[in-house]
Structure 1
Amino acid sequence: MHLIMILTALTVAWCLRSSQTNFQGSWSVRWRRSLFLFVFPPLLIFMTAIAVLCMGPQGNMGGMYTGWFSYVLTLICLAIFDILCIKLAFGGWQSVKSVRNCPLVNLEGKQVRLLNTEALFAGQIGFWRSELVISQGLLENLSPEHLETVFAHEQGHYHYKDTFWFFWLGWVRCCTAWLPNTDALWQELLILRELRADAYAASRVDPLLLAESLLLVVSTTPVSSEIFCAALGCDRLEQRIEALLAQPEPTPKLNFQFWNGFLLAFLPLVTVIFHN
């Protein structure tokens, strides 16, 4: 019976991820759709594994006996998920440790870490309380006005705690790389994250200056670099520039009705009461 539950969860997860990935519409529509399709299938699989683990390898359910095979399979899967989480956490800890070796400087009243490299880089490094890291190359190539827009954009990432939430989303990505459209949904969430930070910055600085900053960074950053691919790929840059030049779109908060849909992923836990 446990094996039937696992196969059912896998089938539902696969079908949801196989549905057409339509990245059209407003920011809020794209964000809700992508986040649901990205998170719900692995959450359903994870809850099914927890339910099987709670019921144990002995007993019966619905008149059908359970066995060790599905129980051991569940333990192996959860162990792999844990290992992937520890691996990502260790990599993040190494990044934070490396950043803290950089000197702390005061720029326009902001405490930032200065990275000694000619590459143009600005980013939040950390977990819940991230730190802003700016490269020496960025300071040398951007004017104070353009730097202010970069600070505003990074403040947007800090405001929405992107380093924290995308650590867990990155873990979900690693655990379910075998599901369809995982990478496509991940890339969509990344560009939506940048668009959200741009919108936050545009409400505080001149959007045209921010667009100019993006173009300046692109013009001096090698196309093959990881920095370019992460946030400034051609398609992403085009979307970001168009969003900055268009009428600003408010960034709505996700309401409780949206989160109610995720409660369906917890249905496998209900089956525990039918196990004896």
Structure 2
Amino acid sequence: MHLLMILAALAVSGILRCSWTNTPGSWDVRWQRTLFFFLFPPLLMVMTAIAVLCMGPQGQMVGINAGWMSYILTLLSLSVFSGLCLKLAFQGWQSLQSARNCPVVHVDGKRVRLLSTPALFAGQIGFWQPELVVSQGLLETLSPAHVKSVLAHEQGHHHYRDTFWFFWLGWVRSCTAWLPNTEPLWQELLVLRELRADSYAASQVDPLLLAESLLLVVSNATALTTSEICCAALGASVGDTSGGKLRLEQRIEALLAPPQPTPKAQLQFWNSFLLAFLPLVSLIFHT
């Protein structure tokens, strides 16, 4: 019976992921829809695994005997997921230590780490309290006004704690790389993250300056390639992927459009995730 629960969770997760399509719409609609399809299937599978572990390999469920096969399979899966989390945390810690080895300078009244490279780069690196890293090439290439717009964008990432939350989303991505549409959903989350930071910056600086800065960074031939682990950089969503040009156009169009406030997630949206906890109800049927 436990094995049937696992297979059912896998089937539901696969069907949900396959049903996702990247549809246009407002930021909040796209964010909630993408986050649901990205997070709900893994959460459903984890809750199923926890339910199986709690019931154990002994006993019966609705008259069907439990067995060791599903129990060991669940235990191994959760062990792999935990190992991936530790691996990503170590990589993030290494990135943070590398950033902290850079000298500290003050740019536009802000404390930043100076990266000695001609590439154009600006990004937050770390976890809950990330380090703001700016390259020498960016400071030398961009005007003070453009640099200020870039710093405002990075402040947006800090405001929303993007490095922290996207570390966990990145862990989910690693654990569910085998599920359908994992990578398209991840890329959509990245561009929505950047749109949110752009919107935050546009409320403080001229959006046109930020759009120009974005174009300069993206078009730079020696742009710095960084790990996505615990890093939120200005051009993170417009790399050398097939959809990079389209995502760049989205960000430029959003900056040139009239500013709109970024809505907060409604309680009703988070309530939809409660359905993923249904496997725990099976505990009352286990004897």
TM-score range for the pair, normalised by the shorter chain length: over 0.9
The separation in 2 between residues aligned to 1:124 and 1:36, in whole angstroms, is 26
How many residues matched?
Answer: 276
2:256 aligned to which of 245, 268, 274: 245
Map 1:41-52 to 2 at 5 A. 41-52=41-52
Residues 125, 132 of structure 1: 8 Å contact kept: yes
Q: Which residue does the alignment assign to 1:37?
A: 37
TM-superposed deviation, 1:270: 1.4
Map 1:75-86 to 2 at 5 A. 75-86=75-86
Q: Which residue does the alignment assign to 2:236?
A: 230
Residues 177, 183 of structure 1: 8 Å contact kept: yes
Map 1:64-213 to 2 at 5 A. 64-213=64-213
Residues 120, 138 of structure 1: 8 Å contact kept: yes
Residues 124, 133 of structure 2: 8 Å contact kept: yes
Q: Which residue does the alignment assign to 2:229?
A: none
Which AA in structure 1 matches 2:40?
Answer: F
What secondary structure does 1:94 align onto?
helix
The separation in 2 between residues aligned to 1:77 and 1:222, in whole angstroms, is 40
Q: Which residue does the alignment assign to 1:268?
A: 279
The separation in 2 between residues aligned to 1:262 and 1:61, in whole angstroms, is 25
Q: 1:144 to 1:224 in 2, by over 3 A?
A: closer
What secondary structure does 2:23 align onto?
coil
TM-superposed deviation, 1:272: 1.1
Residues 23, 188 of structure 1: 8 Å contact kept: no
The separation in 2 between residues aligned to 1:214 and 1:173, in whole angstroms, is 26
What secondary structure does 1:265 align onto?
helix
What secondary structure does 1:148 align onto?
helix
What secondary structure does 1:240 align onto?
helix
Which AA in structure 2 matches 1:121?
Answer: F
TM-superposed deviation, 1:219: 2.8
Residues 192-237 of structure 1, C-alpha deviations (whole Å, 9 max, x = no match)? 0000000000011000111111112123234795679733331221
Query: Identity, % of aligned pairs?
Result: 70
TM-superposed deviation, 1:64: 0.8
The separation in 2 between residues aligned to 1:19 and 1:53, in whole angstroms, is 30
Residues 222, 228 of structure 1: 8 Å contact kept: no
Which AA in structure 1 matches 2:18?
Answer: S
Q: 1:170 to 1:109 in 2, by over 3 A?
A: same
Residues 27, 192 of structure 1: 8 Å contact kept: yes
Cα RMSD after superposing both structures: 1.5
- Of 218-227 and 3-12, the range deviating more from structure 2: 218-227
The separation in 1 between residues aligned to 2:255 and 2:247, in whole angstroms, is 12
Structure 2 unmatched runs, 5+? 227-232, 239-243
Residues 154, 234 of structure 2: 8 Å contact kept: no
Which AA in structure 1 matches 2:78?
Answer: L
What secondary structure does 2:113 align onto?
strand
TM-score w.r.t. structure 1 length?
A: 0.97
Structure 1 unmatched runs, 5+? none
What secondary structure does 1:250 align onto?
coil
Q: Which residue does the alignment assign to 1:15?
A: 15
TM-superposed deviation, 1:249: 2.4
The separation in 2 between residues aligned to 1:130 and 1:262, in whole angstroms, is 29
The separation in 2 between residues aligned to 1:55 and 1:69, in whole angstroms, is 13
Residues 58, 67 of structure 2: 8 Å contact kept: yes
Residues 34, 189 of structure 1: 8 Å contact kept: yes
Residues 124, 131 of structure 1: 8 Å contact kept: yes
The separation in 2 between residues aligned to 1:117 and 1:60, in whole angstroms, is 63
The separation in 1 between residues aligned to 2:252 and 2:96, in whole angstroms, is 31
Q: Which residue does the alignment assign to 2:268?
A: 257
What secondary structure does 2:134 align onto?
strand
